[in-house]
Amino acid sequence: MTKNLMEFATEYSGAWAAHDPDSIAAMHTEDSVFELHELSAPAAGRAAVRDLIATLVTAVPDLRFEHKRAHFGDAHFVSEYVMKGTAEGKPFTIAGVDVFTMRDGLVAREGQLFGLAGIPTSGRRRPRGNIQRPRRLKCVALARSTLRDTVASIGAGSLDT
Protein backbone atom coordinates (compact mmCIF):
# COMPACT_ATOMS: atom_id res chain seq x y z
CA MET A 1 0.00 0.00 0.00
CA THR A 2 1.29 3.46 -0.89
CA LYS A 3 1.60 6.03 1.88
CA ASN A 4 -0.47 9.15 1.59
CA LEU A 5 1.41 12.46 1.46
CA MET A 6 0.71 13.28 5.10
CA GLU A 7 2.20 9.97 6.24
CA PHE A 8 5.15 10.49 3.91
CA ALA A 9 5.74 14.03 5.25
CA THR A 10 5.68 12.73 8.82
CA GLU A 11 8.22 9.99 8.01
CA TYR A 12 10.41 12.44 6.10
CA SER A 13 10.38 14.90 9.01
CA GLY A 14 11.30 12.06 11.35
CA ALA A 15 14.34 11.18 9.23
CA TRP A 16 15.47 14.84 9.38
CA ALA A 17 14.92 14.92 13.16
CA ALA A 18 17.08 11.78 13.44
CA HIS A 19 19.77 13.41 11.24
CA ASP A 20 19.68 10.32 9.01
CA PRO A 21 20.90 11.27 5.50
CA ASP A 22 20.58 7.68 4.24
CA SER A 23 16.88 7.48 5.21
CA ILE A 24 16.20 10.94 3.79
CA ALA A 25 17.94 10.12 0.50
CA ALA A 26 16.06 6.81 0.26
CA MET A 27 12.85 8.86 0.10
CA HIS A 28 14.11 10.63 -3.04
CA THR A 29 13.97 9.35 -6.62
CA GLU A 30 17.26 8.33 -8.29
CA ASP A 31 17.12 11.54 -10.36
CA SER A 32 15.85 13.77 -7.57
CA VAL A 33 16.89 17.41 -7.36
CA PHE A 34 17.42 19.02 -3.94
CA GLU A 35 17.72 22.78 -4.07
CA LEU A 36 18.86 25.08 -1.27
CA HIS A 37 17.88 28.35 -2.91
CA GLU A 38 20.32 31.18 -2.15
CA LEU A 39 22.85 28.75 -0.66
CA SER A 40 24.16 26.39 -3.30
CA ALA A 41 23.72 24.88 -6.72
CA PRO A 42 21.10 22.12 -6.79
CA ALA A 43 22.17 18.61 -5.78
CA ALA A 44 21.10 16.32 -8.63
CA GLY A 45 20.69 12.60 -8.08
CA ARG A 46 20.05 10.58 -4.93
CA ALA A 47 23.77 10.25 -4.05
CA ALA A 48 24.35 14.01 -4.35
CA VAL A 49 21.22 14.69 -2.28
CA ARG A 50 22.50 12.34 0.42
CA ASP A 51 25.94 13.98 0.43
CA LEU A 52 24.52 17.48 0.75
CA ILE A 53 22.20 16.45 3.59
CA ALA A 54 25.05 14.62 5.37
CA THR A 55 27.15 17.77 5.12
CA LEU A 56 24.37 19.93 6.56
CA VAL A 57 23.67 17.69 9.55
CA THR A 58 27.40 17.38 10.24
CA ALA A 59 27.95 21.15 10.01
CA VAL A 60 24.90 21.84 12.20
CA PRO A 61 24.83 18.96 14.69
CA ASP A 62 21.90 20.42 16.64
CA LEU A 63 19.83 21.19 13.53
CA ARG A 64 16.13 21.05 14.30
CA PHE A 65 12.87 22.15 12.73
CA GLU A 66 9.80 23.59 14.38
CA HIS A 67 6.89 22.66 12.14
CA LYS A 68 4.41 25.46 11.49
CA ARG A 69 2.02 24.09 8.83
CA ALA A 70 1.83 21.93 5.74
CA HIS A 71 -0.24 22.16 2.58
CA PHE A 72 -0.97 19.06 0.50
CA GLY A 73 -1.90 18.64 -3.16
CA ASP A 74 -2.22 15.63 -5.45
CA ALA A 75 1.49 15.18 -6.22
CA HIS A 76 3.11 17.85 -4.10
CA PHE A 77 3.22 19.35 -0.63
CA VAL A 78 4.59 22.45 1.02
CA SER A 79 6.01 22.53 4.54
CA GLU A 80 6.52 25.72 6.53
CA TYR A 81 8.90 25.65 9.50
CA VAL A 82 11.43 27.47 11.63
CA MET A 83 14.93 25.99 11.39
CA LYS A 84 17.26 26.33 14.38
CA GLY A 85 20.75 25.22 15.15
CA THR A 86 24.36 26.16 15.77
CA ALA A 87 26.94 26.39 13.00
CA GLU A 88 30.58 27.21 13.69
CA GLY A 89 29.63 28.06 17.28
CA LYS A 90 26.98 30.58 16.21
CA PRO A 91 23.28 29.93 16.94
CA PHE A 92 20.75 30.75 14.24
CA THR A 93 17.00 30.73 13.71
CA ILE A 94 15.49 31.17 10.28
CA ALA A 95 12.06 30.68 8.69
CA GLY A 96 11.85 28.24 5.82
CA VAL A 97 9.51 26.71 3.29
CA ASP A 98 10.10 23.43 1.46
CA VAL A 99 8.25 22.68 -1.76
CA PHE A 100 8.12 18.96 -2.63
CA THR A 101 7.21 17.48 -6.00
CA MET A 102 6.43 13.79 -5.72
CA ARG A 103 6.72 10.97 -8.25
CA ASP A 104 5.95 7.30 -7.59
CA GLY A 105 5.74 7.92 -3.85
CA LEU A 106 9.18 9.57 -3.62
CA VAL A 107 10.54 13.12 -3.70
CA ALA A 108 11.42 14.03 -7.29
CA ARG A 109 12.27 17.63 -6.43
CA GLU A 110 12.66 19.55 -3.18
CA GLY A 111 13.21 23.26 -3.10
CA GLN A 112 14.06 24.97 0.18
CA LEU A 113 13.44 28.69 0.50
CA PHE A 114 14.67 30.72 3.44
CA GLY A 115 13.64 34.26 4.06
CA LEU A 116 11.86 37.01 5.85
CA ALA A 117 8.92 38.13 3.77
CA GLY A 118 7.71 41.51 4.92
CA ILE A 119 10.80 42.35 6.94
CA PRO A 120 12.89 45.18 5.52
CA THR A 121 16.54 44.85 4.63
CA SER A 122 19.15 47.39 5.69
CA GLY A 123 18.78 50.78 4.06
CA ARG A 124 14.99 50.65 4.02
CA ARG A 125 12.82 52.41 6.50
CA ARG A 126 11.23 50.02 8.95
CA PRO A 127 7.42 49.97 8.67
CA ARG A 128 5.29 50.35 11.75
CA GLY A 129 3.62 47.39 13.35
CA ASN A 130 4.61 44.04 14.69
CA ILE A 131 7.89 43.59 12.80
CA GLN A 132 10.97 41.75 14.04
CA ARG A 133 13.63 43.86 15.68
CA PRO A 134 16.93 44.65 13.88
CA ARG A 135 18.81 42.22 16.15
CA ARG A 136 16.66 39.42 14.72
CA LEU A 137 17.60 40.52 11.22
CA LYS A 138 21.29 40.29 12.12
CA CYS A 139 20.69 36.78 13.44
CA VAL A 140 19.04 35.73 10.19
CA ALA A 141 21.78 37.34 8.10
CA LEU A 142 24.32 35.47 10.22
CA ALA A 143 22.40 32.20 9.73
CA ARG A 144 22.26 32.67 5.96
CA SER A 145 25.93 33.62 5.86
CA THR A 146 26.96 30.69 8.05
CA LEU A 147 24.94 28.17 6.02
CA ARG A 148 26.21 29.66 2.76
CA ASP A 149 29.83 29.48 3.99
CA THR A 150 29.33 25.91 5.22
CA VAL A 151 27.92 24.76 1.90
CA ALA A 152 30.68 26.59 0.02
CA SER A 153 33.44 25.11 2.17
CA ILE A 154 32.44 21.58 1.24
CA GLY A 155 32.40 22.35 -2.45
CA ALA A 156 28.69 21.75 -2.94
CA GLY A 157 28.54 24.17 -5.86
CA SER A 158 28.44 27.80 -6.70
CA LEU A 159 26.52 30.17 -4.48
CA ASP A 160 23.96 32.75 -5.46
CA THR A 161 24.71 36.03 -3.72
* 147 contacts: CB under 8 Å, gap ≥ 6: 36, 39, 56, 60, 87, 92, 114
Please report which helix (H) or strand (E) contains residue 147, including its range: helix 134-153
Tell me: the pLDDT tens digits for 126-136?
A: 334 433 433 44
Q: What percent of the chain has pLDDT over 70?
A: 68
* 133 contacts: CB under 8 Å, gap ≥ 6: none
- Report which listed range, 83-87, 142-146, 155-159, is most confident: 83-87
Question: Global pTM?
Answer: 0.71
Q: What are the structural domain ranges in the chain?
A: 5-118+129-152
Q: What fold characterizes domain 5-118+129-152?
A: Nuclear Transport Factor 2; Chain: A, (3.10.450)
Which pLDDT score is estimated for 17? 94
Q: Considering only CA atoms, which of 44, 61, 39 is closest in space to residue 153?
A: 39
Which pLDDT score is estimated for 64? 93
Which pLDDT score is estimated for 129? 40
